[in-house]
Amino acid sequence: MKTNGTKILVVDDEIGYRKVLNNVLTERGFHVKTAASGEEALAELKKQEFPLVIIDMKLPGGIDGLELLQRIKGTYNSSVLIMTAYGGIETAVEAMRRGAFNYITKPFNLDEIILNIDRMIAQQKIIEENKYLHSELEKVYGLKKIVGSSKEIQKVLDMISRVAFSSATVLITGESGTGKELVARAIHFTGNRKDEKFVVINCATLSENLLESELFGHVKGAFTGAIKDKKGLFEEADSGTLFMDEIGDIPKSVQAKILRVLQEGEFISLGDTATKKVDVRIIAATNQDLLQRVQEKEFREDLYYRLNVINIRMPPLRERKEDIPLLVKHFIEKYNKKENKQIKGISPEVETEFYTYHWPGNVRELENVIERAITLTNEDVISINVILPLVKKEGRTEFVGDDLLSQPYKEARRKALDAFNVKYITNVLNKTSGNVTNAAKESEIERQYLQRMLKRYNIKSKDIF
């Protein structure tokens, strides 16, 4: 570990811990300052910058460890390591949510302290090299695939930038097809592990025995068919990231072993007796309600809290419909190249269909629809006749009168869609007393698009109610 005289501030009211840390870190070339309270720590921070700060959660006076952390993260660019007694782990996890780099429990192991400081130094180096993180994020390949400008997606991108350089475990939740793996890749390729492996496993596709072997590996003779030693994915991902998709489907027997990796950074391969140490960041994803699984005794509560240190929720497409035009453009460009076509866009009828459609398969379904439509389309614009057979019936609101059934399909479809739009818009405006902004929020469509529909159907919002 190259210290380069890095400055460390140690904040602890127990003089014994202050002396031990001061001596150990000074011997290793650090410049150490100590403080016995939050007030003393803030006074030291005003005098000089400390890239690294070690804080005990229980401090005397009016500023406890959590508040001191909040003040530091709000003013300085310091990396903060939390120290806590075993009974204070819940508070320490909350500290990580608020920006702490990691936490260790007292009495601590000095090697663990040094390992965390080593990682914090690496984090500080990256922070210094990337002062304008948001502009740098655009250059990272993982983030380029997260398309959208809605508030919901901006929240996701902000969370990625905040957790990418941390060692905290991340749990990504959301329905199937919302892009959870894209977020996991963005976190990895943005952070300080980007030059290491990003390993993926879908936990729902493997049996209990096979899953255990895939994760932890096995030695020759561990079971029938184990003809040679096999390295597990935790070992493959050492120093990098292991993305565990569909984590909610893991059997309880395997859950205990994953918990050990998270707590101790170690595991034992099947059929082996030797313990292996690994440094792996785990990012997990699920479309299930894990807390409900905990209540049903199907998922370990301690593992749930270890996984859910940082939670990122991927919104379903129906909650971010204002992103549909950008997504459509992105997918058309992608599959134009693949199919060697020059399709320019979608028709107004398709645009209306996409906004009113429920998208049960989310972004993955939209991409699939665009890919198939481009394959089937011989014109330069994707028409409604191509789209309708490609979308699921359960995702569409039907509104067809018997009088339309005898008319030509294209004309009947246009009239039915117009009638639905008028009825839907009138209904939502009635509910919001004619307020267009509230109506747009209620219907989960873009305000500008709603205004275009009002103009198209000559609906006066002030006359609705």
Give CA–CA dist 343/367, Å, rounded: 15
Identify the band that residue 180 occupies on the pLDDT scale cut at 50, 70 and 90: very high
Return the higher-pLDDT residue of 4 and 39.
39
pLDDT value at position 45?
A: 92
Closest CA to 147 of 371, 367, 368, 370: 367
Per-residue pLDDT, averaged over 55-65, amounts to 91
Asked, for residue 318, whether it belongs to a domain, the answer is no
Tell me what pLDDT residue 138 has.
45
Greater model confidence, 147 or 451: 147
Say if residue 241 is in the same domain as residue 381: no
pLDDT reported for residue 191: 87
CA distances from 166 to 175, 247, 278, 448 (A): 25, 21, 17, 39
Tokens 């127990």 found at? 14
Q: What percentage of the chain carries pLDDT values higher than 70? A: 89
Same-domain status, 426 and 456? yes
**Whether the predicted pLDDT of 462 surpasses 60:** no
Examine the pLDDT at 95 and tell me if it is beyond 90.
no
Q: What would the mean pLDDT of 229-258 be, rounded to a whole number? A: 92
Alpha-carbon gap, residue 433 to 421, rounded angstroms: 18
- Do residues 431 and 399 touch, judged by C-beta distance below 8 A? no
Highest mean pLDDT among 16-25, 76-85, 383-392, 395-404: 16-25
- Six token digits for residue 310: 């940082």
Say how many CA atoms lie within 13 Å of 406 toward its Cβ: 2
Q: How confident is the model at residue 137, as a pLDDT?
A: 44
Helices (H), 218-310: 233-236, 252-264, 290-295, 301-307
Average pLDDT over residues 227-243: 90
Statement to judge: residues 201 and 237 lie in one domain: yes
- Residues with Cβ within 8 Å of residue 450, at least 6 apart in sequence: 425, 436, 439, 440, 443
Residue 319 belongs to a domain: no
Same domain, 392 and 403: no
CATH number of the domain at 338, please.
1.10.8.60
Does the pLDDT of residue 185 top 50, yes or no? yes
Give the Cα separation of 327 and 147 in Å (integer).
Answer: 6
The pLDDT value given to residue 291: 92
Q: Please give the pLDDT value at position 395.
A: 62
The domain of 351 spans 327-396
Can you read off the two tokens belonging to residue 447? 């305000």
What proportion of the chain, given as a percentage, has pLDDT over 90?
50
pLDDT at position 432 is 83
State pTM to two decimals. Answer: 0.58
Residue 322 resides in a domain: no
With 80 as the cut, is the pLDDT of residue 96 above it? yes
- Residue corresponding to tokens 């997504």: 327
- Whole-number pLDDT of residue 403: 56
> What is the pLDDT, as a whole number, of residue 207?
84
Same domain, 404 and 392: no
- Tens digit of each residue's pLDDT (9 = 90 or more) over 385-421: 999 888 876 566 544 455 556 667 666 677 777 777 7
- Return the pLDDT at 223: 82
Domain closes at, from 373, 396, 419: 396
Task: Over range 269-277, report the average pLDDT.
Answer: 88
pLDDT of residue 132: 40
Q: Which residue, of 381, 396, 411, is where some domain finishes? A: 396
Same domain, 218 and 150: yes
Look at residue 288 in the predicted model and tell me its pLDDT.
92
pLDDT of residue 399: 47
Note the pLDDT of residue 326: 93
* DSSP structure string for 205-227: SS-HHHHHHHHH-B-TTSSTT--
Q: How far apart are CA 182 and CA 202, in angstroms?
A: 14
Across 237-262, average pLDDT: 93
Instruction: Check which CATH number belongs to the domain holding 109 and give it.
Output: 3.40.50.2300
In a domain, 320, yes or no: no
126-142 mean pLDDT: 52
Is there a domain that residue 321 lies in?
A: no
Residue 1 placed within a domain? no
Give yes or no: residues 43 and 154 share one domain.
Answer: no
Looking up tokens 């952070």, which residue turns up? 191
The predicted model gives 52-64 an average pLDDT of: 92
Residues 125 and 160 in one domain: no
Query: What's the rounded Cα separation, in Å, for the pair 265 and 237?
Result: 12
Q: By the 8 A CB rule, do 198 and 245 touch?
A: no
As for how many domains the chain has, the answer is 4
Given a cut of 80, is residue 128 above it in pLDDT? no
Phi, psi of 64 (to 5 degrees): -85, 180
Q: Does residue 119 form part of some domain?
A: yes
Whether residue 241 contacts residue 184, with contact meaning beta carbons closer than 8 Å, is answered with yes
- What pLDDT sits at residue 439? 85
CA–chain centroid gap for 410, Å, is: 42
Q: Are residues 103 and 230 located together in one domain of the fold?
A: no
Domain match, 190 and 259 both: yes
Determine which of 156-165, 187-196, 310-319, 409-418 has the lowest per-residue pLDDT on average: 409-418
What average pLDDT is seen over the chain? 86
pLDDT greater than 50 at residue 182:
yes
In a domain, 75, yes or no: yes
Secondary structure (DSSP) of 363-403: HHHHHHHHHHHHHH--SSEE-HHHHGGGS-GGGS-----GG
Residue where a domain terminates, one of 110, 129, 148: 129
- pLDDT greater than 90 at residue 206: no
Find the mean pLDDT for residues 338-354. Answer: 91
Question: What is the predicted pLDDT for the residue at 465?
Answer: 43
Q: CATH number of the domain that 274 lies in?
A: 3.40.50.300
Indicate if 223 and 300 belong to the same structural domain: yes
Ranges of beta strands (E only) in 278-355 are 281-286, 310-313, 345-346
Question: What's the pLDDT at 447?
Answer: 81
Q: Is the pLDDT of residue 47 over 50?
A: yes
- 340 φ/ψ angles, rounded to the nearest 5 degrees: 55, 50
Are residues 13 and 120 both part of a single domain? yes
Average pLDDT over residues 422-442: 82
CA 291 vs. chain centroid, Å, equals 18
Q: Which residues contact 290 (CB under 8 A, 6 or more apart)?
A: 171, 173, 247, 248, 299, 304, 307, 308
Encoded tokens for 278: 């690994």
Would the pLDDT of 86 be above 70? no
Euclidean distance between CA atoms 33 and 25, whole angstroms: 10
